[in-house]
Amino acid sequence: MENENELDRLFGDRPIPTRELLKRTLRYLKPERLRFCAALLLILLNVALDVILPLFISAVTDTLTSGDIRLARILWLSGAYLLMYLANQVFLYFESMILQKAGQNIVYRLRLEVYEHIENMSRSQLNEMPVGSLVTRVASYTASLSDLFTNVLVNVLRNLLTVVGVFAVMMFISWRLSLAMLGFLVVVFVVSFFFRRHVAKIFREERKSISDINTFLNENLSGMKLIQVFRREDAKELEMLAKNEHLRRARYRVVRAFGIYRPFISFLYFLAIAVTFFLGVALGLSPGMIVAFYLYLSKFFNPIQNLADQLNNLQKAFTACERLFNLLDVMPEVRDRPGAIPVEHFRGKIEFRHVWFAYVPDEWILRDVSFTVEPGQTCAFVGATGAGKTTILSLIVRNFDIQRGQILIDDRDIADIEIKSLRRGIGQMLQDVFLFSGSVRSNITLNDPAFTDEEIDNAVRYVNADSFLSRLPHGLEEEVIERGENFSQGQRQLLSFARTVLHKPEILILDEATANIDTETEVLIQNSLEKMRNIGTMLVVAHRLSTIQHADQIIVLQGGEIIERGTHQELLRRRGYYYKLYELQFASR
């Protein structure tokens, strides 16, 4: 349960009162209200026909048992019954088509809303939230909301209307026999009420177990190579066994609850049939009335049993909606300020003014950091692991917000710039390059059709990626498998460079872009970096000091503070911290 409680914290999971849940859920019904009104009219017509049909059978039964059999009357009643039944099925078809179209429209809009909400979350939020749980909420829970409108609520309404309509006709046939049946109805609803409260907790636990397993599978299947390298298969199997057992027990509790509930409802139904025949004869009802009452009894109890089944589906749908709304209620930690403005282009001046930042309160990663990078300059950041180099780059694109100070681009506080506009003007090339499944072309263009073949070819040549793309059997159309595993680290980095150059940023960020690559590829990347310096302002974090020797400014960080700054030659002449790093690195070669 510890993991489940952690998920509750991350997603802000909380029980939502039924009234609030219904109000929020029905908001998605608004754009489709005309379709639902048409479906509601068809449901009413269906229920009306369904209630009337047994009366024809009652009339035929009385005719056959009266001793005065009139064939014309039987044929007329049979023909009318057939026509009404066909009309019922036609109404049912159009009702289903209307509801399904409305439901698909709802889930289409909802998936986009949830996906866009996740896109707006901060880097720290996305790092904390398990991908498996996010996938479950986007894919599965949104479908549950659609099912709620197109199936669950509609069937609940249909069954309630049927119960009311059938009971009204039963009262017309025999009010005394109907009151006896009413006692059965009261028992069923009382039992169903307490049953719903009981299964609500079980379904919430079941949903959590499903999300937990999805998260476990997503993480461990992605890291299967590491599991095999360290021979942790048995340990992971035990973890999976525990999670699987937890889900099995949750589902068993659901089965056990319904295993008691459904037979009890069936027992009441057959008991009601026995009472119907006994009291019907005792009250002197005609054979046709008793037959009609028997048929209505089936139509009376079947909706109640359906309602019991729908309680299952309704509770599942409400639990899914609840957890979906919990996700939508998680506010992005980094968002636009009121009045934030879009910026079309940047000159490229970057300034930090007394910036303090901490991921955890009072555990400062950056301490009073101030520096200025002029437009077109290349600024490199050097320091030990944890010194704050990557943090600086993350703050510039507002992956996180600072606690004190200011960060400015072109003398404008980045907090006053629309986040999308800010990130559009900054190209980021990171050490861990992510490639999507698809083709090389789609990974460079990110499926933006606005780029021409000439622009793509120019970008590829500009960063020297053509040196290996020309050797591929299908060139730019070469297939990229999941995570780009069919390309080397250096090749992925060159594709990342091409992607960035193609999108024409005014500011370039490189975070350890030359780490973990072979010497041959490093030469190509070094050449590419020299060309890219002409694009705009460049900020570089590099492990290899050889890649930053020509930077206009090198900033040395230690413990989140700037301890040295200057050009490569200036820092070497000072024989300080940078000089020691340089000596250590080149002495080891």
pLDDT digits over 359-413, tens only? 888 899 999 999 999 999 999 999 888 899 999 999 999 988 999 999 999 999 9
Same domain for 264 and 368, yes or no, is no
pTM of the model: 0.64
Q: Are residues 317 and 356 in the same domain?
A: no
Number of domains observed in the structure of the chain: 2
Q: What per-residue confidence (pLDDT) applies to 1?
A: 36
Q: State the residue for tokens 């499903």.
A: 210
Distance CA 108, CA 96 (A): 18
- DSSP calls for 127-188: HHS-HHHHHIIIIIIHHHHHHIIIIIHHHHHHHHHHHHHHHHHHHHH-HHHHHHHHHHHHHH
Kindly give the parts of the chain with pLDDT less than 50.
1-7
Could you tell me if residue 13 is inside a domain?
A: no
Please tell me whether residues 260 and 163 are part of one structural domain.
yes
Per the structure, the complete domain to which residue 278 belongs is given by 18-329
Contact by Cβ (8 Å): 278, 47 = no
Q: What b-and-e string marks burial along 524-539, b requiring 16 or more CB atoms within 10 Å of the CB?
A: bbeebbeebbebbbbb
Kind of pairing between the strands at 404-409 and 350-360: antiparallel
In a domain, 135, yes or no: yes
Same domain, residue pair 457 and 523: yes
CATH code for the domain in which residue 547 is found: 3.40.50.300
Distances in whole angstroms, Cα of residue 433 to Cα of each of 54, 285, 485, 492: 69, 82, 11, 6
Q: 178 and 303, same structural domain?
A: yes
What pLDDT sits at residue 521?
Answer: 65
Q: Give percent above pLDDT 70 in the chain.
A: 93
DSSP 345: -
Strand locations in 227-309, DSSP E?
A: none
288 & 371 share domain: no
Q: Could you tell me if residue 336 is inside a domain?
A: no
Q: What is the DSSP string of 347-376?
A: ---EEEEEEEEEEETTEEEEEEEEEEE-TT
Domain final position from 329, 359, 389: 329
Those residues whose C-beta lies under 8 Å from the C-beta of residue 551, and which sit 6 or more positions away, are 378, 379, 380, 540, 567, 568
Residue 340 lies inside a defined structural domain of this protein: no
Query: Does a structural domain hold residue 320?
Result: yes
Residues 285 and 373 in one domain: no
CA distance 174 to 442: 72
Tell me: do 399 and 306 sit in the same domain.
no
Query: Do 227 and 370 belong to one domain?
Result: no
**Alpha-carbon gap, residue 162 to 315, rounded angstroms:** 21
Nearest residue to 60 (alpha-carbon basis) of 71, 79, 74: 74
Residue 226 in domain: yes
Looking at the domain assignment, is residue 5 inside a domain? no
Pair 504, 551 in one domain: yes
The enclosing domain of 107 has a CATH number of: 1.20.1560.10
Q: Is residue 27 part of a domain?
A: yes
Same domain, 537 and 484: yes
Q: Are residues 277 and 360 in the same domain?
A: no
**Last-in-domain residue among 329, 358, 388:** 329
